[in-house]
Amino acid sequence: MSVALRPIHGRDGRPAAVVRSRGPGCDRGASETVVIPTRDRVSAGQVLAGEILGGLGPVTISLIRVEQTPFGRRLRACGEAMATPVSSETDATTSRARFELDIPEDVVPSGWGAQCSLSYTLLARSRHRTAAANAWAAIEVVARGQAHVKPRVERFDRFIAGVPARLFHIELHDAVLEGDGYIAGRVHRHGGCPLGTMMLEVGCTEAWRCRPSWRGAPPQWDERVMWAATAPIQLEDDRGWAAFRCEIPAGLPAATEADTVAWRYDLAVSRRLRHRPDQRATLTPLLFEATSLSA
């Protein structure tokens, strides 16, 4: 989808609720198309209602996911509905229509990072208008997710959910993977070999797909660490596991895996050895994942 999208931002830097769009050379009035949602914040699985003013003929309203990275912007359609014209005995025109759009239950929420963002906008398209006269209205989508770990094997994606070490591994116990949340888990030992003190590393990484070096190449990712912390873990000789809990500072986005944008909360436990390579176990729990991931 190739469109010209210019988001409007409010005082807090987030998109405003209503965006008006007119075709080139059109005057104000009947030629102006406006999308007016009943609210600018909606939850996944809910129905968003609203009105379209100035649309002529059948109007399609679409929910568009906007993924912004340092390398550009990608738009992905997530839902669609038809607007129904409103008429009465005193007003028989079709320049006013109402819509009800189902927000998918598995939609990933809006999010803002250091260099990337994931937002949503409503797109109203009329069959009797040019693309330049399409109307946009930005909304925020919120969602609830359950932290989990899912094995991930994809041909062109370098993201791996977890890798155990030879003598230990990490298990996720409970987590709220966003700002003001936490990550709780355990380090489990394999066998009865004493491990001593190990180092836990936890962090939030913002990642985005960059342009490949040649056409047809596998996708490549750039990344930036937004937050990181370390803590020692002592695994007692008479116990097979050690628990940990890390608090996540405020202001960080929710763990999200989309087409070109990702915010990942990575866990790593390392054990230093003399005269041998260090042992290292990693785990990246998931919270939200776009169902339309593409290679």
- pLDDT at residue 227 above 90? yes
Whether the CA torsion 164, 170, 176, 181 is positive or negative: it is: negative
Band (pLDDT 50/70/90 cuts) for residue 130 is: low
Q: What is the DSSP string of 78-114?
A: EEEEEEEE---SS---SSEEEEEEEPPTTPPPPEE-S
Band (pLDDT 50/70/90 cuts) for residue 156 is: low
Interatomic CA distance for residues 234 and 66, integer angstroms: 44
**Using one digit for the tens of pLDDT, what is the confidence trace for 54-90?**
766 778 999 999 999 999 999 999 999 998 887 655 5
How would you label 28-46 residue by residue, b for 16+ Cβ within 10 Å and e otherwise? Answer: eeeebbbbebeebebebee
Query: 238: Cβ–Cβ under 8 A, 6 or more apart, which residues?
Result: none
- pLDDT at residue 173 above 90? yes
Query: 142: Cβ–Cβ under 8 A, 6 or more apart, which residues?
Result: 41, 42, 43, 44, 109, 110
Q: Are strands 256-257 and 182-189 parallel, antiparallel or unpaired?
A: unpaired
| Domains annotated on the chain, with CATH | 20-142 (2.60.40.10), 162-289 (2.60.40.640)
222 versus 5: the higher-pLDDT residue is: 222
What element of type H or E holds 295? none
Q: What is the mean pLDDT of residues 170-177?
A: 95
**Using one digit for the tens of pLDDT, what is the confidence trace for 26-39?**
333 334 778 999 99
The pLDDT score that the predictor gives to residue 160 is: 77
**Using one digit for the tens of pLDDT, what is the confidence trace for 237-248?**
677 889 999 999
Interatomic CA distance for residues 267 and 230, integer angstroms: 10
Whether the CA torsion 54, 55, 60, 64 is positive or negative: it is: negative
In this prediction the pTM is: 0.80
The pLDDT score that the predictor gives to residue 88 is: 54
Least confident of 122-126, 224-228, 290-294: 290-294
Reduce the DSSP state of residue 150 to 3 states and report it: coil
